Amino acid sequence: RDLHSFPTRRSSDLNLSKKLNVDLAIIDKRRDKANECEAVRVIGNVEGKTAILLDDIVDTAGTLCGGAQILLDAGAREVHACCAHAVLSGPAIERIEKSCLKSLVVTNTIPLGEKARHCGKIAVLSVGHLLGEAIRRINNEDSVSCLFL
């Protein structure tokens, strides 16, 4: 997580881990310049566990793959990842294919390129039903917040 968003993000992450009844570990990362980020350490215990990395956007996949390796080095049994928006630019697919990641689950908010569609580690979930339900609820003047809790 970026340090400037850590307190807010930590709170929502804790809520998610409680809802799922799972432990929470956080990867501390440093961002020296735009589009360059380095995962530096794990805060929490992942030893012997299946780790799932959550991210909002994956662009070049450097931080994602580095984070996966750090989790494995910290004793995780295996590492999976998911993200809402898969930009997957530049070396992203090659990095994902060569990484220790077992899988990367993404949504279809951004169409995947040819290489990404053929990457055996990437699975795509559609957000169509979710967006349709949100539109229906807005049209009926119902709450949409329950869709995202």
Instruction: Catalogue the active-site residues.
Output: 29
Q: Residue 123 forms beta bridges with which residues? A: 105
Distance CA(86)–CA(57), nearest Å, equals 6
